[in-house]
Amino acid sequence: MADFRAIADALKAGNAPKVKELVEAAVEEGVEPSKIVNEALIVGMGEIGVLFKNNEVYVPEVLIAARAMHAGLDVVKPLMADQDVATAGKVVLGTVKGDLHDIGKNLVGMMLEGAGFEVIDLGIDVPPHKFVEAVKKDKPHIVGMSALLTTTMPAMKQTIEAIEAAGLRDEVKIMVGGAPVTQNFSDEIGADGYAPDAASAADLAKELVG
């Protein structure tokens, strides 16, 4: 019988080969790929998220756990593509114009994937029109913006204004984050939510699509 707990624990330990081996064994047993994702990979990543929030693990451990999660996802994703499995939602993610930081954004992306979201990463230094194009093309449920500098925070407001000007504001939820960003700033610029860290961002995304 597939041991979901063992997969989740191997993921938390960052043991990618073990995760791959256990997921392959579960697939061979005939376990539904979506079950493996929801009851093992997402569970393990969620637990790492809680530890990260409580300062019991740090960025390196999260990155290693995310790599282990991807080792498992790589096994089941091709099978899930055949089944057209529903995701938790689709998120377009990017660091705003003028800002070249990506560690925080990447962590958020990993946590979102770990929570079952499909993530479209636009990268760094993303101008407002690129976010607008992505909303038109990819039809995400959420747009996530990151800024690590006080000087690039205004680009978040400009991006929201551009999405509004394109008539797309009602179609997406917008969440923001990054070291200098606060709940007050998020409210001021008209975002739908703010998250102080990557694990909270995944929780917030679930709330926003819920």
pLDDT digits (tens, 9 = 90+) for 157-172: 999 999 999 999 999 9
Does the structure show a pLDDT above 80 at 1?
no
pLDDT digits (tens, 9 = 90+) for 47-75: 999 999 899 999 899 999 999 999 999 99
Question: Domain 4-83 carries which CATH code?
Answer: 1.10.1240.10
SS3 199: helix
| Mean pLDDT computed over 78-91 | 78
How far is CA 178 from each of CA 39, 74, 80, 101, rounded to the nearest angstrom? 30, 29, 33, 10
152, burial (CB in 10 Å: exposed 0-12, middle 13-18, buried 19+): buried
Identical fold for domains 4-83 and 89-209, yes or no, is no
Does the structure show a pLDDT above 70 at 84?
no
What ranges do the domains of the chain cover? 4-83, 89-209
Q: pLDDT grade, residue 2 (50/70/90)?
A: confident
Report pTM. 0.83
pLDDT at position 85 is: 63
Angstrom distance (rounded) from CA 71 to CA 128 = 33
Residue 123: count of CB within 10 angstroms of its CB:
12
pLDDT at position 16 is: 97
Which class would CATH give 89-209?
Answer: alpha beta
CB neighbours of 202 closer than 8 A, spacing ≥ 6?
A: 46, 49, 108, 111, 112, 114, 115, 117
Does the structure show a pLDDT above 80 at 86?
no
Average pLDDT, the chain: 94
User: Do residues 40 and 28 make contact, with C-beta atoms less than 8 angstroms apart?
Assistant: no
| Mean pLDDT computed over 13-40 | 95
User: Do residues 201 and 175 make contact, with C-beta atoms less than 8 angstroms apart?
Assistant: yes
Q: pLDDT grade, residue 80 (50/70/90)?
A: confident
How far is CA 110 from each of CA 48, 75, 115, 140, rounded to the nearest angstrom? 11, 17, 9, 17
User: Do residues 160 and 129 make contact, with C-beta atoms less than 8 angstroms apart?
Assistant: no
